[in-house]
Amino acid sequence: MQKALAILAVLLIAGCGTQAARPSFLTRSVQDCTAGDTEACAMLGSLGTVPTTKEASAVQHPRTQSERDVDAILDGMRKAKPTPGQFMKVAPNTPRDS
């Protein structure tokens, strides 16, 4: 019985820990609208708080690791593409004298 109460107490204490601070609902809606979510823009428009270009440039969502990885891969592919006229020239295959 004491073990069950101890486990229950630990679970209650762990559940009551500090939660990460999240931005307010309107702040998240503005971020969604600037990211291109039309439903968020429509909701903000009905409230009369559609973000202007100045507000839109001030609010930017942080790039996730996978977005940065994709950008790096695409950048590498762009750099690896040869420009016209820079293709490797291969010498013709000639038989060797033994």
* Model confidence pLDDT, tens digit, residues 14-32: 766 666 677 788 888 888 8
Whole-model pTM over 0.75: no
> Which whole number is the average pLDDT over 61-81?
83
Question: What is the C-alpha separation between 49 and 55, in angstroms, rounded?
Answer: 11
* Nearest to 61, CA basis, from 33, 20, 96, 26: 33
Which residue's entry shows tokens 């040869």?
Answer: 82
- The tokens describing 52, both together, are 């202007």
- Chain mean position to CA 56: 17
Give the integer Cα–Cα distance in Å for 32 and 40. 6
Look at the block and give the residue holding tokens 């000639």.
94
- Domain boundaries defined on the chain: 23-77
